[in-house]
Amino acid sequence: MGSLDKAQLTGFICRICSKMNKVVIHVYGEEGKRINLASQLQTYLGVDVYMNDDLPKTVCPSCIVKLRMYYEWMELIMKTQKEFGNTSNDLKISRVVSLSPIETDDT
Ligand SMILES: [Zn+2]
């Protein structure tokens, strides 16, 4: 329903999935700034959205949800890796030590 021309007049192109959407979040709008959208897109998706580029500055709600899930997932992974000591040799060593049977050392 509705031609593409009409859609272009009534919607915004999502920067991430390129789909047309009536409801979008502007990267440099109030909401976009509040959730730090530009830096999240850069950090987690590798998408640079500059205020003065000629590309869309809008992201659709479905991509926002996915970005949030991805963000939370990444945070979880980083937290887990830290707990497993994969991020630092020191942590790894202390983890190995703490995994060995605890011997009472109260002399
Ligand atoms: Zn999208």
Structural domain contains residue 97: no
Please give the annotated binding residues for Zn(2+), written as ranges.
Answer: 14, 17, 60, 63
- CA-to-CA distance for 62 and 21, rounded, in angstroms? 10
Give the domain range for residue 70: 11-83
Structural domain contains residue 43: yes
Structural domain contains residue 73: yes
Structural domain contains residue 102: no
Is the Cα dihedral 74, 80, 86, 90 positive or negative? positive
Structural domain contains residue 77: yes
Structural domain contains residue 65: yes
Structural domain contains residue 29: yes
Q: Does residue 106 have a pLDDT over 60?
A: yes
- CA-to-CA distance for 56 and 53, rounded, in angstroms? 8
Tokens encoding 2: 């509705």
Structural domain contains residue 53: yes
Instruction: Give 1-54 pLDDT, tens digit per residue.
Output: 445 554 445 789 999 999 999 999 999 999 999 999 999 999 999 999 999 999
Number of domains in the chain: 1
- CA-to-CA distance for 13 and 19, rounded, in angstroms? 6
For residue 63, what is the domain's CATH number? 3.40.1800.20
Whole-number Å distance, alpha carbon 8 to ligand 1 midpoint, is: 15
Whole-number Å distance, alpha carbon 44 to ligand 1 midpoint, is: 15
Please give the annotated binding residues, written as ranges.
Answer: 14, 17, 60, 63
**pLDDT attached to residue 39:** 94
